[in-house]
Amino acid sequence: MKAVNFLAAGASHRDGAAAFQKASHLTPAEKKALAARLAGQPGVTGLVMLSTCNRLEVYLAGEGDAALEGALAVFAAATGLCADSSSGSVFRGAGAVRHLMEVAAGLESEMVGETEILGQVKQAYEAACAEKRADGAIHRIFQKSFQAAKMARETSGVGHGQVSLGAVAAEMARRIHGDIARCRVLLVGSGQVGTDVAQALAARGVGRLVLSSRTQAHGEALAAETQAECIGFEAWPEALAGADVAIFCTAAPGVVLSLATLRAAIKARHGKALFLLDLAVPPDVEAGAGDLEGVFLYNFTDLAAAANENRRGRMTEVEACRQLLAERAQRLWEEVERRGAMHGLEEVEETPGSVPESQ
């Protein structure tokens, strides 16, 4: 029987903008088609594709080195990633398991310890289960990785502090304005990031929150939940003139706030400063906005820096968390190899789809 193999490949913010941008042209439909193509490669028995605003990775299980190396070549040709050492990262065996655990625990995130990534990894795994692309090795590795990530966060303290994007954005708005209870915030976008930001602002008692979304139903539901005002997507440029802080986090493929629209808002503000938070990837705000007089622009990198302000003091916890996960990953991989050799890949874990919270 061929040996069980596991491989993780792709790119994130850690690999640099040049590497990650190679795959930014892929649409969600193209990524889904690529996942299907990879799953169909000879010898590939399981596959999970993880796609976030600053990460695109594929996790592959299969029989023998040749099968996964062939699939990796297909992935590289389609995305431009992992063709060489400067265009992404590749992890194999226990290293791939450790990488997955560290990603799920938030250790590989730009905001170290952030909480959203665990949900995103679970969603990617559940999508693979729904598409019947999760074999026994995938089930075992992902389910145990979720448990390990949760345990490591709880025991190491790596997640202490403001580590969710919504919480950090709300805290940034408070710092900018000084009194969140008197702050008027315009939020453009009602996806996952917009939802997190709106909930965090509402929890902190924001004075006035105006939501605008391309999907009116989403915007209205979120507004009702957070006691905000919902306006049509065509109306936000006018609302921009009266906002203290404007936060943009749409999933648009290009610029949403142009310099022309921004200049019109500045003129209507009569010299009052405008603070912009652009949390979108690619950016919602046109380049050069921060150079305009009276405009102060903060992006995702600025928020990550704010979230990591106390990271130096938490480095002991971070390193302890990495060591703990490294030990867990090695043990899990040895178990997967043993059980795979004894029973075959499909029987490494017989309960697909369930995600235990702890063990």
Please give the Cα distance from 213 to 217 (Å, whole number).
9
Pseudo-torsion of CA 287, 79, 352, 151, nearest 10°? -50
Nearest CA to 300 out of 100, 166, 185, 202 is that of 166
Residue tagged active-site, from 53, 82, 183, 230: 53
Task: For the beta carbon of residue 191, count every other beta carbon within 10 angstroms.
Answer: 17
CA 202/CA 227 separation, integer angstroms: 8
Distance CA 163, CA 156 (A): 15
Nearest residue to 133 (alpha-carbon basis) of 57, 69, 66, 44: 44
Angle (CA) 138-140-142 rounded to 5° is: 65
Active site residue 249: no
Residues 6+ apart with CB under 8 A from 317: 156, 157, 158, 160
Q: Looking at the chain, which runs of residues are DSSP E strands?
A: 4-12, 44-52, 55-63, 89-92, 184-188, 208-212, 229-231, 245-248, 274-278, 295-299
Neighbours of 221 (CB within 10 A): 16
For 224-262, letters b (16+ CB in 10 Å) and e give: eebebebbebeebbebbbebbbbbbbbbeeebbbebebb
Count of Cβ atoms closer than 10 Å to residue 37 Cβ: 14
Q: Which residue has the tokens 């989403």?
A: 218
What are the residue numbers of the active site? 53
